[in-house]
Structure 1
């Protein structure tokens, strides 16, 4: 039984990495610059899948990949976003330029479909 779970987990991990690669190219195609070491950045409070910049916008992006539309619709929730925000708060002071705008985005992708980029999904009075 454990072997089956490991195989499923490995497949899911590969699919997730593929989703991140597709998302990277999607962002580049739309004018975003992926910052150096801006993939799967780990912090004490969480992980950021992609960090990108376009103009004055510093963008922390969570990528969710699922095989079905129904699973993809349920892939992101408030608790998952809170971990992304905590990691972004940790990293932002190191990466920000003066007058930067910071956004938390989500990219949803399933194989054989275009990625769906959800812009600025986290709203708070203050980021810090």
Structure 2
């Protein structure tokens, strides 16, 4: 991976924040309530936490400049990191016995968001 300049890191962070805001609006339109954004843990960050009747979803948001790049946006390593972060905080959000899951929202310009439900199914 090519090292990024501080300006490139700032621009990437800004694009990430915009993507998370777009994902939050999309999920709200689908009947979800945004509970938290950018939850930081020692294991990593959870982009969005959303809830609806009996379910709490921990959402990883990925944005790519080209829709063709979305296939490589999420992989098992990234999902494992999200799952480790979720493991640290899920009890704080599923306080009434709700089911939990990890979802992914993929975004690219000119394309409807792709919502991958239950994207992480750990092998027990």
TM-score norm. by structure 1 comes to 0.87
Task: Decide whether aligned partners of structure 1 residues 16 and 85 sit closer, same or farther in structure 2, where only a CA change above 3 A counts.
Answer: same
2:64 counterpart of 1:83: no
Q: From 55, 59, 62, give the equivalent of 1:61.
A: 59
Aligned residues: 121
Distance across 2 between alignment mates of 1:71 and 1:8? 19
Residue matched to 1:8: 8
TM-score norm. by structure 2 comes to 0.90
Distance across 2 between alignment mates of 1:17 and 1:49? 9
- Structure 1: segments with no counterpart, 5+ residues: none
Pairwise CA distance, 1:112: 2.5
Instruction: Assess if the C-alpha contact under 8 Å between 2:67 and 2:109 holds in 1.
Output: no
List structure 1 runs of 4+ shifted beyond 4 angstroms.
none
Pairwise CA distance, 1:52: 0.4
Distance across 2 between alignment mates of 1:125 and 1:109? 27
Task: Decide whether aligned partners of structure 1 residues 6 and 34 sit closer, same or farther in structure 2, where only a CA change above 3 A counts.
Answer: same
